[in-house]
């Protein structure tokens, strides 16, 4: 279980952002964009996770879209919360979900024809 996922895709942040949203909104994630290249994606409730521990659901990840000199874009998905409110089980859940989100995004970019490599 990794603490980040990096994908190399073609396109600009303005082109890649909608692909992220189309792939992850059906999974229940909400998006908060700081700018076209930086956002927080979140699913569930932090309050419920604090109250219910490992039985509550709260996933929060930071997405950075970094343009590269070769014209590609690195989609860098990392932990924005550790999951510690759910103890060791919560930490494992947050990291497992990150792996799952990485697979969903890989499939979305492959389907879109913009994935360079995962």
Residue 35, H or E segment: strand 30-35
Fold designation for 4-117: TATA-Binding Protein (3.30.310)
Q: What is the pTM of this model?
A: 0.86
Residue 90 binned pLDDT confidence (cut-offs 50, 70, 90): low
Q: Please choose, from the candidates 41, 88, 46, 87, the residue with its C-alpha nearest in 3D space to the C-alpha of residue 63.
A: 41
Residues 6+ apart with CB under 8 A from 49: 56, 57, 58, 85, 86, 90
Phi-psi region at 44: left, alpha or beta (left = phi > 0; alpha = psi -120 to 50): left
What does the pLDDT read at residue 100?
A: 95
Residue 76 to residue 71: CA distance in whole angstroms: 16
């Amino acid at each position: 279980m990794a603490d980040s996922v990096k994908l190399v895709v073609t396109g600009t942040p303005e082109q890649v952002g909608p692909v992220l949203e189309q792939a992850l909104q059906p999974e229940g994630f909400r998006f908060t964009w700081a700018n076209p290249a930086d956002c927080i994606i979140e699913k569930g409730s932090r309050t419920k996770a604090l109250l219910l521990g490992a039985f509550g659901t709260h996933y929060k990840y930071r997405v950075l879209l970094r343009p590269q000199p070769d014209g590609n874009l690195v989609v860098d998905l990392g932990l924005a919360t550790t999951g510690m409110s759910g103890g060791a089980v919560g930490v494992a859940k947050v990291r497992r979900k990150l792996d799952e989100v990485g697979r969903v995004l890989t499939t979305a970019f492959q389907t879109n024809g913009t994935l360079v490599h995962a």
